[in-house]
Chain A
Amino acid sequence: MKFKKSVGLLLSGVLSMGILAACSSDSGSSSSSTGTTPTSTEPAAEGSKVIKIATQSPLSGGSAIIGEAIKLGAQMKLEEEKAKFEELGYTLQLEPYDDQADPKKGVSNANLIGADEQIYGVIGHYNSGVAIPSSEVYEKYNIAMVSPANTAVEVTERGLKTVNRIVGRDDFQGPAGAEYAVNELGAKKIFVIQDKTAYGTGLAEAFIKAAEETGAEIVGNEGITIGEKDFNGVINQVLNKKPDLVFFGGLYAEGGIIIKQARDKGIDVPFMGGDGMDSSGLVDIAGEAVKNTYITSVAGDSTATESGKKFMEDYKAKFNKDPEGFSVYGYDSMGVFLTGLEAAITANNGELPGKDKVAEAVRAVKDYKGALTDVSFDEKGDNINAKIFLYKFEEASYPPVQVGEVSQ
């Protein structure tokens, strides 16, 4: 009896602590926002106004390696540009959000971002399935989004005026891969596996359409479930169909396992995948099996340009880890956004303009020279200079070797 009471006491204590903690963080954030809004309206108080820029990418979960890379890239650019904006009288601040590669989490973060009056822009997302619903919220609050990685066609095709991306689209990436597979690798029979997500299915369909047009035969199109670890059933089908090439539309966590299990079964034909497999995680998971794998990526080789090389060195020196393919895109996305922001401030005689004006200025960015990409947005927010790159894993190491490049 006594024991029961003490347990009850303990539980209610934990509960009340939880409630208190929730209260305190809640009141803390509300007081800080009410506390800082007045200061930002009277600039003399602190000397400079705060402009926050959010990043939204998966900082935890299966894609955390890339999500982190996007955030760090954006952070680096923001810190480099900080001094310039200080002179204009503004303090830049980064607000990283973790969308967990989950549409629900992305949208709830987007609502938080929208509610914060000091956030003028978002750099993100990594997953198209998350970017699409979240961007509806940004549109409502007129917050400019610059995407470093989303390739699904629908992201910009909905005609939202706040949504921009600096990378290529799947209806360009899929065909580029298909053309290379059929013409360069001589694939006649292709087996397609996809992960049933907005990204994976979209990419696989674009690939299939282009491959059939180029004259290859699709001998199978099967789906897998994300999070499982045994894909032998599908791989047995591949084994029976004896294709010349296997295409996987999905992310590296599943892609790596599929490649490994297929090689274990003696399937030695080339594998091909999209930008979702462009990660050092693919090599960690698949190991030696990754050899003879091709990927198309919207992320270019950072070492291709002088500024890209410099970026890589700075990144390594600053964060003590090697950049991923998408690090430089986080960096350039932030660069594009800050260029737009600066233009909006200048056009408004040094005063901070409304969020809708900032979004317009970002869309109007032309001929921005980033560390790796040149960015000019068209009327939909797509980058007309985006390219698709083809890579091959010749050794079990990341990054892979670039074997081709396709311009739009």
Chain B
Amino acid sequence: MLQEVLQSLPQVLIDGLTLGAVYAVVALGYTMVYGILQLINFAHGEIFMSGAFIGTAFFILIMGTSWAAGVPQIILLILVLILTASITGLVGVGMERVAYRPLRNAPRLIPLITAIGISFILQDLVRFIAELFNGNYIVTGPSLFSEQITLKTSSISSVFYDASFKSSFLIVLGTAIVLMIALDYFINKTKWGTAMRAVALDRETASLMSINVNKVISITFFIGSALGGATGVLFAVQYGTIDPYIGFILGLKAFIAAVLGGIGNIRGAMLGGMLLGLMEMFASANLSLLTGGVFGAEYKDVFAFAILILVLIFKPEGLLGKPTAEKV
């Protein structure tokens, strides 16, 4: 049994990392907004989904033009990533302006409800637009980066089988890591990043120190949503087929990843996302093997969430979170 688990391990790691990278970057959006506003922005999963649609639309548009054939795919991807991230970033800022800012001093439950409302609006808006242009809201984008690469893991040790992946895996992982490093640098090393951390620590005091709190919050939403939208593009590239409801399940899991890593903690969100992706993929590949066929792959989420509950019982603040004292 152990041997069989080991054989597929390289492949499971690769698939788990892909999924984990997507979870991680989406989790960043949740954790940033929570860190600053103590608001769980449930519409973030929908921002991710909108990004996937906007990106696919750009790809279809660009692929339809004649000059696209001569341009390397990677340039196209970077172009689409930047365009999509700017659009979803602006959508995020608009969302905050319309739905959250008027409610900033309302009880915490109220913005949570508006967030759910916004997410339904975005789902149906995207669905409407997709049906208008495509006739059906399940959209399949052009296939990019589909070269097959085989990793000769069997030559490292004979217990492993070879693993293979599409080159889009490298793109997804690479872009996600670049985004995360850039964000980490921005938060910790720049002036605006310092202002964001100050607002997260204490909003009133920060505003007394001549920090424009509204602007900082807008920037937070812009960055979080831009990252979410960019991940949407990566998701569309990796999995090809998208529909307006992908944001819900994925958003939920990314949120859980953020909690697992310690909500409000940027590096925690990255770690939590990667861990959740790996656990989920490991469970779905090996669960029926480990339980002798009693539980099949369909119970993968139960496995992943049971581990989550265990972590939270022993470390309620999350893996990298700091225990916060009650504010009096």
| A interface residues, Cβ below 8 angstroms from B | 3-4, 7, 60, 62, 64-65, 196, 220-225, 227-230, 232-234, 236-237, 239-240, 253, 256-257, 260-261, 264-266, 281, 284-285, 287
Q: In the complex the two chains form, is A265's CB within 8 Å of B136's CB?
A: no
Q: In the complex the two chains form, is B138's CB within 8 Å of A62's CB?
A: yes
Given contacts A65-B136, A264-B146, contact A223 B249 (CB under 8 A): no
Q: Lowest 5 A-B CB distances belong to which pairs?
A: A233-B284, A223-B298, A232-B15, A236-B285, A222-B297
Q: In the complex the two chains form, is B8's CB within 8 Å of A239's CB?
A: yes
Q: In the complex the two chains form, is A232's CB within 8 Å of B249's CB?
A: no
Task: State whether the Cβ of B155 lies closer than 8 Å to any Cβ in chain A.
Answer: no
Q: In the complex the two chains form, is A230's CB within 8 Å of B19's CB?
A: yes
Task: State whether the Cβ of B56 lies closer than 8 Å to any Cβ in chain A.
Answer: no
B238-251 to A contact mask, C-beta < 8 Å, 1/0 = 01111101100100
Measured in the bound complex, the distance between the Cα atoms of B138 and A227 in whole Å is 11
Chain B residue, CB-CB nearest to A62: B138
Q: In the complex the two chains form, is A229's CB within 8 Å of B241's CB?
A: yes
Q: In the complex the two chains form, is A221's CB within 8 Å of B296's CB?
A: yes
Q: In the complex the two chains form, is B143's CB within 8 Å of A287's CB?
A: yes
Q: In the complex the two chains form, is A284's CB within 8 Å of B148's CB?
A: no
A220, A221, A260, A265: which contacts B240 (Cβ < 8 A)?
A: A260
B274-303 to A contact mask, C-beta < 8 Å, 1/0 = 000000111111001100000011101100
Task: State whether the Cβ of B166 lies closer than 8 Å to any Cβ in chain A.
Answer: yes
Measured in the bound complex, the distance between the Cα atoms of B297 and A66 in whole Å is 29
Q: In the complex the two chains form, is B300's CB within 8 Å of A233's CB?
A: yes
A242 → chain B closest CB, angstroms: 10
Q: In the complex the two chains form, is B8's CB within 8 Å of A222's CB?
A: no
Q: Which one of A65, A230, A234 has the greatest number of beta carbons of chain B within 10 Å?
A: A230
- By a CB distance below 8 angstroms, the chain A residues around B283 are 233
Task: State whether the Cβ of B184 lies closer than 8 Å to any Cβ in chain A.
Answer: no
Task: State whether the Cβ of B107 lies closer than 8 Å to any Cβ in chain A.
Answer: no
Q: In the complex the two chains form, is B298's CB within 8 Å of A196's CB?
A: yes
B46-76 to A contact mask, C-beta < 8 Å, 1/0 = 0000000000000000000000000000000
A–B Cβ pairs within 8 angstroms, 11 of them: A196-B298, A229-B235, A233-B283, A236-B12, A236-B15, A257-B240, A257-B241, A260-B241, A266-B148, A266-B164, A285-B240
- By a CB distance below 8 angstroms, the chain B residues around A196 are 298
B161 → chain A closest CB, angstroms: 7
Q: In the complex the two chains form, is A281's CB within 8 Å of B138's CB?
A: yes
Known A236-B12, A265-B164; 12 more pairs at CB < 8 Å: A224-B298, A225-B298, A229-B239, A230-B15, A233-B15, A236-B11, A237-B8, A237-B285, A237-B297, A239-B161, A264-B148, A281-B136
Measured in the bound complex, the distance between the Cα atoms of B148 and A234 in whole Å is 19
Given contacts A222-B296, A225-B298, A284-B140, contact A236 B8 (CB under 8 A): yes
A3, A221, A265: which contacts B102 (Cβ < 8 A)?
A: A3
Measured in the bound complex, the distance between the Cα atoms of B301 and A240 in whole Å is 22
Q: In the complex the two chains form, is B281's CB within 8 Å of A233's CB?
A: yes
Task: State whether the Cβ of B204 lies closer than 8 Å to any Cβ in chain A.
Answer: no
Task: State whether the Cβ of B41 lies closer than 8 Å to any Cβ in chain A.
Answer: no
Interface residues of B in 2-17 (CB under 8 A from A): 4, 7-8, 11-12, 15
Q: In the complex the two chains form, is A229's CB within 8 Å of B242's CB?
A: yes
Instruction: Count residues of B near A (Cβ-Cβ below 8 Å).
Output: 43
Chain A residue, CB-CB nearest to B281: A233
Measured in the bound complex, the distance between the Cα atoms of B249 and A224 in whole Å is 14
Q: Which one of A3, A228, A229, A281 has the greatest number of beta carbons of chain B within 10 Å?
A: A229
Given contacts A224-B297, A232-B281, A266-B164, contact A7 B8 (CB under 8 A): no
A262 → chain B closest CB, angstroms: 12
Q: In the complex the two chains form, is A240's CB within 8 Å of B161's CB?
A: yes
Given contacts A7-B102, A229-B246, A266-B164, contact A222 B298 (CB under 8 A): yes
- By a CB distance below 8 angstroms, the chain A residues around B246 are 227, 229
A166 → chain B closest CB, angstroms: 26
- By a CB distance below 8 angstroms, the chain A residues around B288 are 220, 222, 237
Q: In the complex the two chains form, is A285's CB within 8 Å of B140's CB?
A: yes
Given contacts A62-B138, A281-B136, A281-B138, contact A239 B241 (CB under 8 A): no
Measured in the bound complex, the distance between the Cα atoms of B136 and A60 in whole Å is 8
Given contacts A62-B138, A240-B161, contact A234 B284 (CB under 8 A): yes
Chain B residue, CB-CB nearest to A280: B136
B47 → chain A closest CB, angstroms: 17
B1-40 to A contact mask, C-beta < 8 Å, 1/0 = 0001001100110010011000000000000000000000
Measured in the bound complex, the distance between the Cα atoms of B14 and A233 in whole Å is 11
Q: In the complex the two chains form, is B239's CB within 8 Å of A223's CB?
A: no
Chain A residue, CB-CB nearest to B283: A233
B161-181 to A contact mask, C-beta < 8 Å, 1/0 = 100101000000000000000
Q: In the complex the two chains form, is A285's CB within 8 Å of B241's CB?
A: yes
- By a CB distance below 8 angstroms, the chain B residues around A284 are 140
Measured in the bound complex, the distance between the Cα atoms of B288 and A228 in whole Å is 19
Q: In the complex the two chains form, is A233's CB within 8 Å of B140's CB?
A: no
B151 → chain A closest CB, angstroms: 12
B92 → chain A closest CB, angstroms: 21
- By a CB distance below 8 angstroms, the chain A residues around B137 are 60, 64
Q: In the complex the two chains form, is B15's CB within 8 Å of A240's CB?
A: no
A61 → chain B closest CB, angstroms: 8
A234, A237, A253, A264: which contacts B138 (Cβ < 8 A)?
A: A253
Measured in the bound complex, the distance between the Cα atoms of B4 and A227 in whole Å is 29
- By a CB distance below 8 angstroms, the chain A residues around B18 are 230, 232
Chain B residue, CB-CB nearest to A287: B143
Q: In the complex the two chains form, is A62's CB within 8 Å of B298's CB?
A: no
A376 → chain B closest CB, angstroms: 36
Chain A residue, CB-CB nearest to B142: A287
Q: Which one of B137, B161, B284 has the greatest number of beta carbons of chain A within 10 Å?
A: B284
Given contacts A62-B138, A234-B297, contact A228 B241 (CB under 8 A): no
Measured in the bound complex, the distance between the Cα atoms of B138 and A284 in whole Å is 10
Measured in the bound complex, the distance between the Cα atoms of B300 and A237 in whole Å is 13
Measured in the bound complex, the distance between the Cα atoms of B267 and A65 in whole Å is 44
- By a CB distance below 8 angstroms, the chain B residues around A7 are 102
- By a CB distance below 8 angstroms, the chain B residues around A4 are 102
- By a CB distance below 8 angstroms, the chain B residues around A62 are 138, 243
B276 → chain A closest CB, angstroms: 13
B305-325 to A contact mask, C-beta < 8 Å, 1/0 = 000000000000000000000
Given contacts A7-B102, A228-B249, A264-B146, contact A233 B243 (CB under 8 A): no
Chain A residue, CB-CB nearest to B12: A236
Measured in the bound complex, the distance between the Cα atoms of B290 and A220 in whole Å is 14
Measured in the bound complex, the distance between the Cα atoms of B143 and A261 in whole Å is 12
